[in-house]
Amino acid sequence: MPTEYFVKKDECVTREISGETIIVPVQSRADDLDSIYTLNEWGTTIWRLIDGQTSVSRLIEAACEEYEVTFDEAQKDILDFLTNLEAAGLIQPRGMGRFP
């Protein structure tokens, strides 16, 4: 993945409930269930670390430390997860938003 840092888009409202994170893009309609995203515990852990300061490499290391996965498994899962979040419009590469 060419981008090393990501930030969450400001247009998202998030709430943590019982270890899961619910994300609703503000520009969507609340009754549009395709625009509401729910992250499990693993996704919530990674979501918390997406701050524009934590590198993708560090996200992979954190997954290896927190969960019983190999580096290769964590790398694949993190890259897939970030690709999906970016495609959904929930994150963007650092430099396109709040961070230079």
Structural domain count, the chain: 1
Contact between 3 and 56 under an 8 Å Cβ cutoff? The reply is: yes
- Full residue range of the structural domain in which residue 87 is found: 6-93
19: left (phi over 0), alpha (psi -120 to 50) or beta: left
Supply the CATH number for residue 83's domain. Answer: 3.90.930.60
For residue 1, being part of any structural domain is answered with no
Instruction: Give the integer Cα–Cα distance in Å for 87 and 1.
Output: 14
Instruction: Give the integer Cα–Cα distance in Å for 27 and 9.
Output: 11
Name which of 12-16, 17-21, 28-32 the model is least confident about: 28-32
Confidence of residue 100 (pLDDT cuts 50, 70, 90): very low
Mean pLDDT over the full length of the chain: 86
pTM higher than the cut 0.75: yes
One-letter amino acid identity for 76? K
For residue 26, being part of any structural domain is answered with yes
For residue 47, being part of any structural domain is answered with yes
One-letter amino acid identity for 50? I
